[in-house]
Amino acid sequence: MRWNRKEKDVYNRAKESQFKDFQQQIGITFADEKLLRHAFTHSSYVNEHRRKPFEDNERLEFLGDAVLELTVSQFLFKKYPTMAEGELTKLRAAIVCEPSLVSFANELGFGKLILLGKGEEMTGGRERPALLADVFEAFIGALYLDQGIDTVIGFLERTVFPKINAGAFSHVMDFKSQLQELIQRDGTGVIEYRVLQEKGPAHSKEFISRVTLNGKELGVGTGKSKKEAEQHAAQKALSVLKTKTT
C-alpha cells in the first residue's frame, strides 16, 4: 500500500505548511529545516521514497535521548540539592520514560507532523505511543544539532520543567523527597530532622525522629534506623500538610 505521485505531492505540501506553523507555535526557527523534517521522518516514509535521499529519525532519536537525559539531570541536580543519587535517578526515569514523552509529544501536537508511509498511516501509526516517544527524542536531537544546548534547555523550560515544578512526578519520590519538593514548591520555609530518642540493644535499635518546618513540629516517626524513622516522620508531615490544603 503506497501513495501515488499526486497523493505524495499533496501530502508533502501539507507537511511543509505544518512545519512552518509548528516553528511559529514553539517560537523557534530552524536554521536547517531539513533537520526538523528529518526528526519527524518515520522509516515507513523512507521506504516509500527510495528514489529521494530521505533518512529516518532513528539516529536523531539516539542523540536526543542522551541530550534529554543530560538536560533533565542538570535541572534535577540544581533543583534538589539535597536529594540522593538514587532518588534523582528514579525521578529522571519517570520524566524521560515512554508515557511521559508521549504526553509531551501530544501536548505539542507532534502526531500530526510525523511523515509516515501509507500503510503506517492507515493503521494508526500517528497515535502509536512508541512512535510518538521516539519522535520527541528525535526532535530534541535535531534541536540540539541546529541550535545548541541552550535552546534545548529553553524549550524544556517552557514545556517539561514546569510540570516537574508543579509536582507532576512527585509520586515516584520517597517521603522525604516529596516533603522537600512540596516545601520548595510552596516556598514556605526550611525543614529539619532531629532524632528524639534512640532505644533498645545494638542489634535491635529503635529510633524516633521528628521533622519540623521553621521550628514547628510536622510529624514524628519511628524506625529501625535513623533513615527509616525520618521517612515515617516525613510521611506523617505530608499527611498533615495535604490535609491543610484540602
Cβ proximity of 209 and 220 under 8 Å: yes
Which residue, chain included where needed, has cell 516509500? 48
- 112/118 Cα distance (integer angstroms): 14
The confidence band for 231, taking pLDDT boundaries of 50, 70 and 90, is very high
Which numeric CATH code is attached to 5-171? 1.10.1520.10
Q: Which amino acid is at 144?
A: Y
Q: Does residue 27 surpass a pLDDT of 70? A: yes
Residue 126 is predicted with a pLDDT of 84
Burial track 90-115 (b if 16+ CB lie within 10 A, e otherwise): bbbebbbeeebbbbbbeebebbebbb
* Grid cell at residue 172: 515516584
pLDDT tens profile 129-147: 999 999 999 999 999 999 9
- Whether the predicted pLDDT of 151 surpasses 90: yes
State mean pLDDT over 172-178.
88
Strands 216-223 and 191-199, sheet pairing: unpaired
User: According to the model, what pLDDT value does residue 177 have?
Assistant: 87
For 174-244, CATH gives: 3.30.160.20
pLDDT value at residue 89: 94
Point out the residues that are catalytic.
65, 137
The residues spanned by each domain of the chain are 5-171, 174-244
Average pLDDT over residues 187-216: 89
Q: Which of 104, 105, 73, 106 is nearest to 91 (CA)?
A: 73
Calpha distance 45→40 (Å, rounded): 10
**Banded pLDDT at 244 (limits 50, 70, 90):** confident
Same fold, 5-171 and 174-244: no
